[in-house]
Amino acid sequence: MKLYNYFRSSAAYRVRIALALKEIPYDSVFVHLAKDGGHHKRPEYRAINPQMRLPALALSGGETLIQSLAIIEYLDDVFPDPPLLPAEAVARAHVRAAAQIVACDIHPLNNSGTMAYLRKIGHDDAMINEWYAFWVTAGFDAIEAVIRPGPYAFGPHVTLADICLVPQVYNARRFKVPLDRFPKILGVEAACNKLPAFDKARPENQPDAE
């Protein structure tokens, strides 16, 4: 199994957490998103992932999977221990909804491609940071409201919601977004970061970290 990876990619961070939780061995291929205009735009990577985004997971059988949530659900299907989604249908829908607030609502508006385009059309760093903080805060307001008694986002077990939330909190800290109004989210982050799998997946603990 081969993970196309970059230490600062929050989507790749999610997959690293899932792989670590399930203790699945893999090799990393590092694809720098910033150097030389972005190595993800090179033809050799586009042949692997036509979307030219990270992560991609190459399976031993020759298939390559893209999109972090699809990859994580594949891992959960094939390596079911520990499960990352509840067994009960309503609980599973709540977990997926929280994960999708991060992956579908916050992250697309704040990823490196969006930020680069805002800069290209003339927005300065102050305006871009304001944009970033607005969308993170809007999404976190919703997540704070749906989090259940912990220690994790939906109870005593880590789920897909935690796997998506922790990297987004990490990025929010990087961009100095105020987080004091989100005590439940901060509690989930603290609980998750005590687990070896989450620590192993942290950006600064990756071989390509700068």
Give CA separation, 108 vs 24, 35, 59, 63, 105, in Å: 28, 21, 26, 25, 6
**14 shares its domain with 105:** no
Give the pLDDT confidence score for residue 193 in this predicted structure: 97
The residue to which tokens 């105020």 are assigned: 178
**64 shares its domain with 103:** no
CATH number of 9's domain: 3.40.30.10
**76 shares its domain with 154:** no
The model's pLDDT over 33-90, given as tens digits with 9 standing for 90+, comes to 989 889 999 999 999 999 999 999 999 999 999 999 999 999 999 999 999 999 999 9
Question: Residue 4 forms beta bridges with which residues?
Answer: 29, 56
**193 shares its domain with 93:** yes
The model's pLDDT over 36-47, given as tens digits with 9 standing for 90+, comes to 889 999 999 999
**155 shares its domain with 74:** no
Containing H/E element for 65? strand 64-66
Range 171-185 average pLDDT: 97
> Given a cut of 90, is residue 27 above it in pLDDT?
yes
Give the pLDDT confidence score for residue 9 in this predicted structure: 96
